Structure 1
Amino acid sequence: MLGSNSSSVARPQGEPAVDDPLVPAPVGALRSHWRAVDAWLARPRTARRVVVWLSLYLALVANWPLWIELARIGGAPSVYLPSIASMLLLTVCGTVALLSFTAWSRWMKPVWFGVVVLAAVVQHYMLSYRVVMDPSMLANAMQTDANEVRDLMSWRLLLNVILVAALPGWALWCLRLAPQRLVSQAWRNGVLLLAVALLAAGGAMAMNRQLAPLMRNNANLRYMMNPLASLYSAGSVTFGPVFKHNRRLIPMSGGAALGASYAGQAKPPLFVLVVGETARSDHFGLNGYARDTTPQLAARKVLSWRDVHSCGTNTLASVPCMFSPLGKQAFEGRKDDYENLMDVLQASGLAVFWLDNQAGGCKGVCDRIPHASAFDPLDVGVKSALCDGDECLDDVMLKGLDQRLAALPAERRAKGVVLVMHQMGSHGPSYFKRSSPDSKRFLPECRSNALAECSHSELLNGYDNSIAYTDRFLGKTIDWLQGQSAAFDPALLYLSDHGESLGEYGLFLHGVPYSFAPEVQKHVPMVAWFGEGMTARRQLSASCMSAGLDTPLTHDNLYHTVLGLMDVKTPTYLPALDALASCRGRDAMATSSRAAVGPSGRTPG
């Protein structure tokens, strides 16, 4: 019989007491702590308190790319520690302010857990590829097809998500939310929002002397605040179009007509424009790269411009811009849509066709002209040899090309043909998939989509193999064009949409906002080949063109250069932006002939 001061502790039936001699002391202590944590989580909490805790957790655990970047910029701890403290305050306040709109006692746990998972995924890609989640990057990611998504998946991603999301996921599952009336929750949430807004404003004003130059000189930092940046970018991409006025399609093809070179022509022109993908100018052997990545192009004596810059740093931004008549600045500031180069060429009477080897398509450029996917339909044998699922090597675009050409309207084909081929090129991170086994010259190559798992030399090998494969593909395309010389005057122009980071400054892939993107994401290759028929037809001076290969050019020049080469007359054509204007015509040919003969009347040499 127990005395009056005896006590007992209730426990589940069949569970031994903590001090049971049959239970080892560490196990008993662990059970005791577990029950204490479970009891603590079981206490009812307001949704606002959960939001504050969650914001603090995310700021500390899911913002390592931001803290690392601040440490890199600051150099010394005395410089970067105050910066980290300032950005921590702003990140916590911003996240609390955002999540205060979800601070309700019912149905919010899945939303909060979704935010945690999003933050974990974004941090993984920021750490792995040094990208920032600005609206342009998120829009590009939202257009990623299933094959590209598969390339970006890895066990490292799963592990990183678990490390960040497991603890808050378990806590959200266990905790109880205190019920409150709707009106009470609403005004309290408003007070929380106002409080953190005032705290953030006060902190920003107090630290303005340090924060202002930091943010002005490092604009990328604002897109590294996780999950604020990704949520802001998602909202901008998703809801931004809703609040914008309906875009009109502004015609630009009025007055388009074929020039004098088409009158009584013996053969029509056949022009192939290859839109490259993720190719860097400094990795082309033609442009001085130490490795001979372009032997096929060199053997065909092409022209390679060495100072060409892109309109954007991702396909979604660059491809529509490079075909636009507006130029980069006006294109980015436009309020309406405009017809593009393909519309003008079609309006002139030429046969035009867009062939795509990217599931993401032409980004609207080919919507109003004939177009097709290179991998649909495909012969079973070709598909097994060149494709992995719905993703194919670029050689697939050369299969059945004669039949595609013959299927174009005869009356248009008799005037001339413009064929655009949109490459898969060097699209990362799975560079090893962008070249065939028989074309891999640089080994060992990185065989993983988690680039951090590979050495820098393996990464370069995989990327350079993809460039070498593009070289071989372009060589085959030129050979096909030469085979058409009996019926056409052929020419080819290759221009990449953007470049790629391969670890420089700790960056990988592409898509960094243009204003502070590294040079390697903007410096792109541009290559041209002209058959004898096209050279004579347009009176192109080879020596003049060779002398201008170091002339600075941009994507803005493409529209006008193609119109000039194809002799299409239109009010939107600007000769000053035509890269070949000064090397075309009788005067250029005469100058070239005089230079070849020399002042003494004899051929030099």
Structure 2
Amino acid sequence: MATAGNAPLWRELQGLGLLQAHGGWLLAITLGGMVAAALFALLSLATWRPLLKPLIAVLLFVSALGAYYMWTFHIVIDGAMATNTLQTDWREVKGLLTWRLVLVLLLGAALPTWLLWRVPLLHRPWRQQAWRNALGTFAGLAAVIALVLLSFQPLASTMRNHKEIRYLLNPLNALWATGQAAFAGRHVQRELLPVGRDAKLLAAGGKPRMLVLVLGETGRSGNFGINGYDRDTTPELARADVASFRNAWSCGTSTAASVPCMFSPLGRDAFLARERDTEDLLDVLQHAGLAVLWIDNQPGGCKGVCDRVPNVNTSQLKDPLLCPDGECRDEILLAGLDDRVASLPAERRRNGVVLVMHQMGSHGPAYAQRTPAAFKRFLPECTSNHLPDCEPATLRNAYDNTIAYTDHVLGATIRWLQQRADYDTAMLYVADHGESLGENNLYLHGLPYALAPDVQKHVPWITWLSPGFEQASGVATSCLRRNAQVHVTHDALFHSVLGLMQVGTSAYRRPLDAYAGCQQH
């Protein structure tokens, strides 16, 4: 585990030039020795007949899995990655399975586990075993301390200048991250703090408003044609007279991190430091008397955001056209939408409607599975789940096809809204995070925010307003286009939606409303 299981660590040290530097091999021996000694200390605690072999087997499989994914996708393993893993469903896991992974698990975990199980364990009286266990743990920890002191200067410099190294120490990284995911959040009290209980609608008279908030998945701002991309990936949006903020940034680099944060009133910094969870944007909209519905096409769901509002998950539907091979295309979000709206309370619908549609979007690595054949306009495309196998051009094609299909879904959403004559309508599309497509040998997403490249954080934010909505709200699309380069973040989503829906509350902050600068009255 400390040697072959840390192949991604040795590769990173080599790539950074640290192995070639003076004392480089001492640094490598120190890191490998620290991992081995720490594992020895940990296993010494569990050196009891019923525990030892199962625990070693689990660590072997964790080590093999971690080594494979860190090596293949150049990811690191931290608390956020562990949270994502724990919240992943079988269909997402299936998209990551390859024959290489099976081979790694067979050679790196199954074979040594089989050999391990053939080794007899000596049974000792429990008092004697307890002393041996304590001595082993002490010896392991002493070895860790000795190795740190032996190579303190290069070790301290490396950890200070290359923080990603700490997330590559396999399998200690997975153990630490799992502990973080399981226990670190317990400082957050689960009883919700109320937010916006004083919310009320400010608009009087006229038509009620209907907003469709499309929550995109894994959207790279730079791959949208309307944002200046060299490919026309968004022809329907270009024809629909939309405005796009080209300088928008996410709250996190994964769905589990971003979605609860972007719907929170706290903003990223306060959200990460919170001691209590709060009600979110959807709660405040309901407090104001609006009809709210969350429609989800992701098996992983809404990450708790929609728990207190009407919600439905479309990912398990059996539509023969929109759900081939057990996965529903994002057009399923629009199927039967009139009936879904009609089922909401009439007294709330008369005040206005907010629909949130959570896409499957561009979820990787199986990008080719996200798009119907009719939208594969960029060919040939990568069809492998082992992304390093793909030529960069084919990987780009596969991802761009997902954006082209998202463009179609958004265009269809706008056309549906244009037919809602009883409402002043609008659409807002914001992605939860971006994606790496092989730049600097990085793939997928989920790197720690401070280490993640911009492509994992720079997201699209696109707005369409009907003429009636523009007139009623005073927000002009032409003004939004002039402000295309204004810096906005997910911190603004809570306040921007309240502003668009004319919800007055003490929780609203006008300086954080991305649309306030274009409001004429």
- TM superposition score normalised by structure 2: 0.97
Report runs of 4+ in structure 1 exceeding 6 Å deviation.
Answer: none
Q: Distance in 2 between the 1:246 and 1:327 partners?
A: 18
Shift of 1:337: 1.0
Three-state SS of the structure 1 residue aligned to 2:2 is helix
Shift of 1:163: 2.1
Which of 406, 420, 423 is the matching residue for 2:342?
406
Three-state SS of the structure 2 residue aligned to 1:549 is coil
Which of 87, 95, 105 is the matching residue for 2:31?
87
Shift of 1:274: 0.4
Q: Distance in 1 between the 2:112 and 2:19 partners?
A: 33
Larger Rg: 1
Q: Which residue of 2 aligns with 1:222?
A: 166
Shift of 1:233: 1.7
Shift of 1:196: 2.0
Q: Which residue of 1 aligns with 2:3?
A: 60
Larger relative contact order (Cα-Cα within 8 Å, sequence gap ≥ 6): 2
Aligned residues, how many? 520
Which of 168, 184, 200 is the matching residue for 1:257?
200
Counterpart residue identity of residue 511, structure 2: A
Q: For 1:429-488, what per-residue CA distance to the aligned partner results, in whole angstroms no more than 9, with x for missing partners? A: 10001111001011111112111222111111111100110011101101111111x211
| C-alpha RMSD of the superposition | 1.5
Counterpart residue identity of residue 325, structure 1: P
Shift of 1:185: 1.4
Which of 50, 54, 71 is the matching residue for 1:110?
54
Shift of 1:231: 1.6
Which of 426, 431, 440 is the matching residue for 2:367?
431
Shift of 1:384: 1.2
Three-state SS of the structure 2 residue aligned to 1:476 is helix
Q: Distance in 2 between the 1:132 and 1:100 partners?
A: 27
Q: Which residue of 1 aligns with 2:78?
A: 134
Written as runs of structure 1 = structure 2, the 5 A alignment for 1:60-79 is 60-74=3-17, 77-79=20-22
1:488 aligns with 2:423: yes
Deviates more, 1:212-221 or 1:302-311: 212-221
Three-state SS of the structure 2 residue aligned to 1:392 is coil
Q: Which residue of 1 aligns with 2:445?
A: 510
Counterpart residue identity of residue 131, structure 2: W
Which of 371, 374, 392 is the matching residue for 2:314?
374
Q: Which residue of 1 aligns with 2:398?
A: 462
Which of 573, 577, 602 is the matching residue for 2:508?
573
Three-state SS of the structure 2 residue aligned to 1:312 is coil
Structure 2: gaps spanning 5 or more residues: none
Percent identity between matched residues is: 47
Q: Distance in 2 between the 1:245 and 1:574 partners?
A: 24
Q: For 1:290-328, what per-residue CA distance to the aligned partner results, in whole angstroms no more than 9, with x for missing partners? A: 111111111112111111110000001100000000000
Which of 95, 103, 107 is the matching residue for 1:151?
95
Q: Which residue of 2 aligns with 1:564?
A: 499
Change (3 A) 1:106 1:358: closer
Q: Is the 8 A contact 1:105 1:180 kept in 2?
A: no
Written as runs of structure 1 = structure 2, the 5 A alignment for 1:325-404 is 325-375=265-315, 378=317, 383-404=319-340
1:297 aligns with 2:237: yes
Q: Is the 8 A contact 1:247 1:335 kept in 2?
A: no
Q: Is the 8 A contact 1:276 1:494 kept in 2?
A: yes
Q: Distance in 2 between the 1:244 and 1:189 partners?
A: 32
Shift of 1:240: 4.4
Structure 1: gaps spanning 5 or more residues: 1-57, 587-605
Q: Distance in 1 between the 2:172 and 2:193 partners?
A: 36
Change (3 A) 1:375 1:509: closer
Q: For 1:220-263, what per-residue CA distance to the aligned partner results, in whole angstroms no more than 9, with x for missing partners? A: 2112111111122223323445x64642210002210000x2x2
Q: Is the 8 A contact 1:311 1:328 kept in 2?
A: yes
Counterpart residue identity of residue 501, structure 2: M
Q: Is the 8 A contact 2:19 2:28 kept in 1?
A: no
- TM superposition score normalised by structure 1: 0.84
Q: Which residue of 2 aligns with 1:204?
A: 148
Three-state SS of the structure 1 residue aligned to 2:321 is helix
Which of 437, 452, 462 is the matching residue for 2:388?
452
Written as runs of structure 1 = structure 2, the 5 A alignment for 1:303-322 is 303-322=243-262
Shift of 1:167: 4.4
Three-state SS of the structure 1 residue aligned to 2:459 is strand
Shift of 1:547: 1.5
Deviates more, 1:446-455 or 1:327-336: 446-455
Q: Which residue of 1 aligns with 2:478?
A: 543
Q: Distance in 1 between the 2:115 and 2:238 partners?
A: 62
Q: Distance in 1 between the 2:253 and 2:74 partners?
A: 14
